[in-house]
Chains A and B, each alone.
Chain A
């Protein structure tokens, strides 16, 4: 294809379809008259424009009946409930940029908190019974003094009572 043909070629279809502005159409016509290749393309594209459409079809006998039935069904479809609408709104919020930021923030917060709770020496890493005791003490504002409580006089007295019990048993024995 010659350089001049390339310049004109992209306009050939629009020319055949009568979609080219008059001045461009006139220039292209002058080129086509002197170019056998473009002239053949114009002829072929013209043949396409004259292709007969497929035979028309008619709606089936039951077409209307089916349509009105389908439409009645579509109209009966219940409107979304308040709960469904709220769920859709929530879903829309969490898929919006603000909602996504909030979701990511929450996820990161949970992740950081879990790392903190799982670190060694913390209640989460202790055996269940001790963890329960520590949690209970923390709730009673005694957690800070837990070690003190463990060494308190009450506990020393408890050991003393145990020793006295043992002595009594020995005496009886």
Chain B
């Protein structure tokens, strides 16, 4: 492990998840289980936000962990563990869309078609108000997803990282493996495109 540490970014050694990965590299299977537990949910949601298909998101999340497991032998702690594992997830997502293994369609549903559990309940007036808000929110959510799916795949990923994950341009650059200046340009173009799409739906001024 010493030879590995010599090639290491010393800052990354402050990251407990990097240390867990190094323990796994040294043969501790339990360290991998801890990483799996810690990142399973966040990675699943990251991929789901991008692909909007739970079954495929689960399959790809598992694929990420299989790659992590297989790459233990060659792992070099050159960045935060989260940056590294999300980079793997990002590449898997981009590759998934490139190969076109699955078809993704975000179906449009009007407020009247949304989940029946959120429909008007005459018994409880307070719940009716809340339900209306939920219906509008669910409808808007679908409009946003539809608009996002009209954007090029890299723009969509950058936007999801910026809007939903609240990542800085630097962090987005690390995950997409491009410069901050490139991220700034991608985000600017994609947000203007998203604004124009949502303007047509009356969601944005």
Instruction: Give B1 Cβ to nearest chain A Cβ, in Å.
Output: 22
A10 to B198, CA, bound (A): 20
A54 to B199, CA, bound (A): 20
Cβ contact within 8 Å between B69 and A48 = no
Segment at the A interface, from B94-102, B124-132, B162-170 = B162-170
Given A48-B195, A70-B62, residue A14 in contact with residue B188 (CB < 8 A) = yes
Contacts of B163 in A (CB 8 A): 48-49, 51, 53
Given A14-B169, A17-B162, A71-B66, residue A59 in contact with residue B58 (CB < 8 A) = yes
Given A48-B204, A53-B49, A74-B70, residue A66 in contact with residue B62 (CB < 8 A) = yes
A12 to B189, CA, bound (A): 11
Q: Which of B148-205 contact A (CB under 8 A)?
A: 162-164, 168-169, 184-185, 187-188, 191-192, 194-195, 198-199, 203-205
- The binding surface of chain B is classed by DSSP as helix
A1 to B95, CA, bound (A): 39
Q: How many residues of B contact A (CB 8 A)?
A: 38
Q: Does B65 contact A (CB under 8 A)?
A: yes
Instruction: Give A47 Cβ to nearest chain B Cβ, in Å.
Output: 5
A46 to B204, CA, bound (A): 10
For the A-B complex with A13-B192, A71-B65 known, give 17 more contacts whose Cβ atoms are closer than 8 Å: A13-B187, A13-B188, A19-B184, A40-B205, A45-B191, A47-B205, A48-B195, A51-B163, A52-B137, A54-B49, A57-B57, A59-B41, A63-B44, A63-B61, A66-B62, A67-B36, A67-B62
Identify the A interface with B (CB < 8 A): 10, 12-14, 17, 19, 40, 43-45, 47-49, 51-54, 56-60, 63-64, 66-67, 70-71, 74-75
